[in-house]
Amino acid sequence: MATFATLVVLGLLWGGVYLLMAEGLNLIYGVMKVVNLAHGDFIVLGGLLALTLFGRYGLSPVVAFPLAAALLFVIGAAVQGGVLERILLAKPEGELRTLLATFGLSYVVANTSFLIWGSQFQSIPFLQSAFAVGPIAVPQGLLACSLLAAALAVAVHAWLRHTAVGRAVRATAQSALGAAACGLNVRRLRIVTFALGAAMAGGAGALVIALVPFQTSSGGDLTVQAFTLIALGGLGSYLGAWLAAELLGITEVMAQYYLGSDAAAAVIYLVFIAVLVFRPQGLLGRTMRI
């Protein structure tokens, strides 16, 4: 029973980490209805940057977090402004072209990282001890990441709800044409959104590399994991994404423990396909507006 309770607690904490890694994708999808296939590679890039900052300058991931986010913000803005804005989403093949473009981007990012950091799995030792709550051992690093994820989720939500720019972003999400007609600079809002989504990916990577080792080719898996989560949550929904993250975290931890790590890696994809096929509208039914 204590094992089971430990697994549930670990699952819940891991759920927070998954949420952290999916929030950027969720934001971009919610606003632009576009899936950034390079999302996982952005996470890995952020993580490897934190690795270098730790190795060279001894900076902790908590310090690296804003720096990785800032770098990815710049990259994200450049990608959206320089490349994706040139594809008109209004045209029927716009979604497909964007998908193909970000598919190419994922290889550019992953292989550029490969040139810099090589191909081995790498991690940062950080907050590796655990403290006991009754019979349950809670790893500190995991707890820190999970709390940060929750804080970030609340911050983004507050930003979208209560700031002028956030409201403009939501307006663009609901109708780009309507937003433009109200005098909003839709192009700039899309660039800000994409950059912010990329920054969240980079920041998440800087923290998560302290928990799981990254390899430059891990990006594809992370993209699918994040996408599974937001699809399960109902694309673009925040509450749904959080629920999905917790569910996925528990499933993954259980699968790791009872079935082994190979099977756990397959479980995420099985969940993914099952969600797409049987529950395309997500856990909470109809997609909620952000």
* Helix (H/G/I), strand (E/B), else coil: 160: helix
Nearer to other proteins, 146 or 228 (CB): 228
How many CB atoms neighbour CB 261 within 10 A? 9
Max CA distance (Å), the chain: 59
Between the alpha carbon of residue 28 and those of residues 5, 23, 56, the distances in Å are: 35, 9, 33
- If the CB atoms of residues 101 and 201 are measured against other proteins, the closer one turns out to be 101
- Nearest residue (CB) to other proteins, 98 versus 172: 98
In the complex with other proteins, the residue whose CB is nearer, 70 or 270, is: 270
Tokens representing residue 50 in the block: 């934190």
Residues 5 and 9: their CA atoms lie apart, in Å, by: 6
Smaller CB distance to other proteins: residue 136 or 264?
A: 264
The answer to whether the beta carbons of residues 54 and 207 sit under 8 Å apart is: no
Rounded least distance, CB 100 to other proteins, Å: 4
List contacts with other proteins (CB under 8 A). Answer: 35, 37, 83-84, 86-87, 93, 95-101, 103-108, 110-112, 114-115, 217, 220-221, 224, 227, 231, 262, 265-266, 269-270, 272-273, 276-277, 280
C-beta separation of 271 from 283 below 8 A? no
Q: Which is nearer to other proteins, 86 or 162 (CB)?
A: 86
CB 66 within 8 A of CB 130: no
Interacting residues of 115 by C-beta distance below 8 A, sequence separation 6+: none
